[in-house]
Chain A
Amino acid sequence: MTQQTPNPAHIEYVTRIGDNALILGQRMSEWCGHAPVLEEDMALANMSLDLIGQARMLLTHAGKLEGKGRDEDQLAFLRIEMHYRNLTLCELPNADFGRTMVRNFLFASFQVLLWERLLASSDTELAAIAAKSLKEARYHAQHAGDWVVRLGDGTAESHERTQAALDYLWPYTAEFFAANPTDEAIAAAAIGPAWSELEAAWEAAVVPVLNEATLTVPARTPFKSYGKFGRHSEHLGHLLSEMQYLQRTYPGAQW
Chain B
Amino acid sequence: MYTQALDIPQQSADKGPRVVENPEYQAEFDARIDAGGYIEAKDWMPEAYRKTLIRQISQHAHSEIVGMLPEGNWITRAPTLKRKAILLAKVQDEGGHGLYLYAAAETLGVSRDELLEALHSGRAKYSSIFNYPTLTWADIGVIGWLVDGAAIMNQIPLCKCSYGPYARAMVRICKEESFHQRQGYDLLLAMMKGTEEQREMVQDAVNRWWWPSIMMFGPHDKDSVHSGQSARWGIKRISNDDLRQKFVDATVEQAKVLGVTMPDPELKWNAERGHHDFGAIDWDEFWNVVNGHGQGNVDRLAARVKAWEDGAWVREAALEHERKRAAREHQAA
Contact = CB atoms under 8 A, between A and B. Distances in A.
Interface of A: 22, 26, 29-30, 32-42, 45-46, 48-49, 52-53, 55-56, 59, 72-73, 76-77, 96-98, 149-151, 153-155, 157-158, 161, 242-243, 245-247, 250, 253-255
B99 A39 contact: yes
A182 B72 CA distance: 38
Give the dominant DSSP class at A's interface: helix
B72 to A, nearest CB: 4
Contacts of B72: 32-34
Given A52-B88, A255-B83, A36 B95 contact: no
Interface of B: 65, 68-69, 72, 75-85, 88-89, 91-92, 95-96, 98-99, 102, 137, 187, 190-191, 193-195, 197-198, 303, 306-308, 310-318, 320-322, 324
Give the one of A33, A34, A155, A157 with max B CB within 10 A. A33
A32 B85 contact: no
Contacts of A245: 77
A38 to B, nearest CB: 6
Give the dominant DSSP class at B's interface: helix
A243 B77 contact: yes
Contacts of B98: 38
Give the one of B65, B187, B320 with max A CB within 10 A. B320
B225 to A, nearest CB: 30
Contacts of B88: 29, 32, 45, 48-49, 52
Contacts of B194: 253-255
Contact of A157 (B193, B313, B324): B313
Given A30-B76, A161-B313, A250 B85 contact: no
B65 A250 contact: no
B168 to A, nearest CB: 19
B317 A32 contact: no
29 contacts: A29-B88, A30-B76, A33-B72, A35-B307, A35-B311, A36-B310, A37-B314, A38-B102, A39-B99, A41-B95, A45-B88, A49-B92, A72-B81, A73-B80, A76-B81, A150-B318, A150-B322, A153-B324, A154-B316, A154-B317, A154-B318, A154-B320, A155-B313, A158-B313, A246-B137, A253-B198, A254-B194, A255-B80, A255-B191
A55 B84 CA distance: 12
A59 B80 CA distance: 13
B195 A250 contact: yes
Contacts of A41: 65, 68, 92, 95
